[in-house]
Amino acid sequence: MRGIGQLALRSTDPPRAAEFYESAFGFRRMAGDDAGVDLELGGFELSFRRGETATRDGLQIGFKVETASEVDAWAQELARRGFALAAPPSGDHWEGTRSFRLADPDGRQVAVFYDYPR
């Protein structure tokens, strides 16, 4: 097994959820209609299927970056473009990680993080 290649989630509004991930993180739309949308980024497929309630309780989607400074750069860029961050980036080498979070349109927690080498 090489890794995880796909994640499918329920959304109350799949096109709106897809627009968030396209705009914020650069996902590319592969297919979609009102019932569902399939996105792709770097070989990973993120799909949203219409549901009465969204898949979100206890769920966090994390995007790993190459350096701690990238965490800060992503936070600055997303905030500049009007995305609401839950809090500014935090964490350091001593804590072992640096990250920030925001919520997608369905209320799912989305993190951008860097893990310092141990």
C-alpha 11/C-alpha 94 separation (Å) is 37
Q: Is the pLDDT of residue 1 over 70?
A: no
C-alpha 83/C-alpha 109 separation (Å) is 13
Mind listing the domains of the chain with CATH numbers?
1-54 (3.10.180.10), 56-118 (3.10.180.10)
Confidence band (pLDDT; 50, 70, 90) for 92? confident
Q: Is the pLDDT of residue 37 over 80?
A: yes
Return the ∠ at Cα 93 (arms to 114 and 116), rounded to 5°: 35
pTM, two decimals, is: 0.88
The single residue listed with the structure tokens 């309780």 is: 57
Stronger pLDDT, 92 or 9, i.e. the higher one: 9
Q: Is the pLDDT of residue 56 over 90?
A: no
